[in-house]
Structure 1
Amino acid sequence: MKRFILPVAAAALVAACSDANDPSSDTSILPDAPSEAEAPLADAALSGPSAATVRHLWAVVGQNGSLTRGSRVTGVTKLGPGQYEVTFNRSVTGCAYVATTQNAYSQALGIFTASGHLSPNGVYVETKNQGGGLTDGPFHLLVACGPLNTKFAVVGYSANLIRATSGTTLTPLGSGRYNVRFPSGIRGCAYLATVGDPGSQLVFSPSGVYTGSGPDANTVYIETKNPGGGLQDGVPFHLALICPTTAS
């Protein structure tokens, strides 16, 4: 039986993010070995005094677009109703963007991500009501680029792997069902996923994405569904894993 853990993973999004003002909080975290495509990102992350100063990229944003707290965030721009761009201090075009709305808000809101519309350092975020209309809402955002204790995968509209941690593979299993297999064990990790365009386009589908344990210790099982709960193809998504320093 597959174990669906999306609510736990959503909570882990915030818990896994260290205080950006506490340089001692990440001293036990070392980056994964980067692929050739990830190397510039890893090099940028490690260009400071030591690996202990490396930070996750994350943000907690208020309904009005104000930055509540975050790490390596240089600003938040509110582009319109339910439209935001969070800008970091480095390029994030090669990363995955996962987000969740805050449950303190009065409406049940969906959230969708894409690459920045204003700069390569940005992540574009939309919050929508259940009817698909853009609606202001507070949210938490995590950007996973591979260094530190994160792994990631971005899957496109045609069930194609756009970018991912080096060595990751994607296996479509049927309508709206996938196995995403990473090169090392991920059983001790939290799985977070968000419907999101692999580039900088808008996502019009109100579909959802759901995670669970895969058939082996290296695999995350994914389902994409329409609002009625039926499995649906053609839904792009971003997947991020937050792992301990040694995954099992």
Structure 2
Amino acid sequence: MATFLKRKATVVALAALSLTLAGGGIAAAAHPAAKAPAEVAQPGARPPGQQPPVTAAETRAAKAALNATLAAPTPGLVAWAVVSSNGTLLQHSANVVSAKKFSASTPGQFAGQYQVTLDYAVNLKGLHATIGTNDAANVPPAGEVAVAPRYLIPNAVFVQTRSSTGGCADRPFHLFIAN
């Protein structure tokens, strides 16, 4: 009889614990302040994470850059660029050909989207970008940056910069391509 009561007490205790946890979860979901701070701080919907469409002019310019006379850096060396928030190429290594900022007023393009073109294929290289400037104080604005190979252009890199809250924003950046 004592074993039966111990089992029954265990089952009742587990049932009470389950109901308490379920009720607490429902109560926490009903209060928006109970959400994690990261959820509350994040903005609404972000623009799609897609690159702008490639134009025929961009394709021609990229092919012309591939025909440049410089050779790709040897393995272990780095190609680099410093690009301003308006897309101007401020400083760069020899293999960097150009930088441009996409126009946020064109459909499919958003603020903070850039393309950096080199004279060799970089689609299989290590890419890294960071928000940064080349001014005397070198204190960059707050923000985020993402880098990826440019869609359909093997010798270009796509860079997307955002504000600290995650919205698309024009930011200066430093780009590194590891060979």
TM norm structure 1: 0.37
Q: What secondary structure sits across from 2:102 in the alignment?
A: strand
Aligned residue pairs total 103
- Say whether the 8 Å CA contact 1:198–1:237 is kept in structure 2: no
Aligned-partner residue type, residue 98 of structure 2: T
2:78 to 150, 155, 175: 150
Question: In 2 relative to 1, CA 237–223 (structure 1 residues): closer, same or farther, beyond 3 Å?
Answer: same
Q: Deviations over 1:68-94 (max 9, x none)?
A: xxxxxxxxxxxxxxxxxxxxxxxxxxx
CA distance in 1: counterparts of 2:134 and 2:118, whole angstroms:
19
CA distance in 1: counterparts of 2:97 and 2:89, whole angstroms:
9
1:160 to 75, 81, 88: 88
Note if 1:192 corresponds to 2:120.
no
- Say whether the 8 Å CA contact 1:212–1:220 is kept in structure 2: yes
Q: After TM superposition, which residue ranges in structure 1, 4 or more long, deviate above 6 angstroms?
A: none
Map of 1:52-201 to 2, 5 A cutoff? Answer: 148-166=76-94, 167-174=96-103, 175-201=111-137
Aligned-partner residue type, residue 170 of structure 1: A
RMSD over equivalenced CA pairs, Å: 2.5
CA distance in 2: counterparts of 1:231 and 1:163, whole angstroms:
24
Q: Deviations over 1:153-210 (max 9, x none)?
A: 1112332101112242112113100111111001221111111112332425211111
* Structure 2, unaligned runs of 5 or more: 1-48, 52-69, 104-110
The answer to which structure has the higher strand fraction is: 1
Question: In 2 relative to 1, CA 199–183 (structure 1 residues): closer, same or farther, beyond 3 Å?
Answer: same
Alignment-derived partner of residue 114 in structure 1: none
Alignment-derived partner of residue 229 in structure 1: 166
How far the C-alpha of 1:211 sits from its partner, in A, is: 0.5
CA distance in 2: counterparts of 1:200 and 1:209, whole angstroms:
22
How far the C-alpha of 1:231 sits from its partner, in A, is: 0.8
Question: In 2 relative to 1, CA 157–201 (structure 1 residues): closer, same or farther, beyond 3 Å?
Answer: farther
CA distance in 2: counterparts of 1:172 and 1:230, whole angstroms:
17
Alignment-derived partner of residue 239 in structure 1: 175
